Amino acid sequence: MLLYLNGAFVGLLILSNILAVKLFSINEWAVLPAAVIVYVFTFPITDTIAEVYGKEAARQTVMAGFITQLAALAFIFAAIHLPSAPFFADQAAFESIFSAGFRVTLASLVSYFISQNLDVTIFHKLKARNGESKLWLRNNASTMVSQLVDTTIFITIAFYGTMPLSALAAMILTQYLFKWVVAAADTPLVYLLVKLARRSKTATQKSFA
């Protein structure tokens, strides 16, 4: 189960970097990066890993995601600077999209590394205090705090200078509110994942006994 959780985590992370260059609006003032609909689901995964497999396993997952993003950043940079085929007419569009993706990936690296490690730290401090009980509390508290940090850092680095400061602040606020609602709503998902992971862990331990 840990392997599947790690795979899902890294896959969602890279997909969120690709989608982040697209902005969508819910109404006149609520503007969000498309990545938000994907990235929010990485936090339940790290919380599940932290709960079942421990703090070190969660940190290893975070580091795996960080290394993968570094690789993506390098490959995007290389792809942009590869000489185009004579019949390839979309080089300008390609550079426009993926140059933005380069900045977004850089923003994601910084915000991701800080917020995900913060999430793991808060989660385990609360677990040390409450033991196995109150999973809902450590899941929500760690995610909501770390998501605020993640949103502020990411939006600032990725979009500063491309829009008015009022729009930037509105984007931070609306994206965090969206993440806050999702964090509260995904609690049943965390309980389900934890249950499945514990069952899988127990079955694996018995098979090696």
Each as own residue / partner, the long-range contacts of residues 124-128 (CB below 8 Å, 24 or more positions apart, any chain) are 124/50, 124/55, 127/50, 127/51
Contact between 181 and 38 (Cβ < 8 Å): no
Contact between 69 and 14 (Cβ < 8 Å): yes
As a three-state string, the secondary structure of 40-108 is CCHHHHHHHHHHHHCHHHHHHHHHHHHHHHHHHHHHHHHHHHCCCCCCCCCHHHHHHHHHHHHHHHHHH
Tokens 């609909």 — which residue?
37
Contact between 189 and 44 (Cβ < 8 Å): yes
The domain locations on the chain are 1-82, 106-208
What is the reported pLDDT for 163?
A: 77
CA-based nearest residue to 201, from 59, 54, 41, 46: 54
Checking phi first, is residue 30 left (phi over 0); if not, alpha (psi -120 to 50) or beta? beta
Contact between 182 and 147 (Cβ < 8 Å): no
What is the reported pLDDT for 209?
A: 59
Q: Which residues does 197 contact at the CB level (< 8 Å), separation at least 6?
A: 1, 2, 5, 48, 49, 51, 52, 53
Per-residue model confidence as pLDDT tens for the chain (209 residues): 899 999 999 999 888 877 777 777 776 667 777 778 888 888 899 999 999 999 999 999 999 999 988 888 788 888 888 888 888 777 777 777 776 666 777 787 888 899 989 999 999 999 989 888 889 899 899 988 998 999 899 888 888 887 788 888 888 888 888 888 888 888 899 999 999 999 988 877 777 65
The Cα 75–Cα 69 span in angstroms is: 10
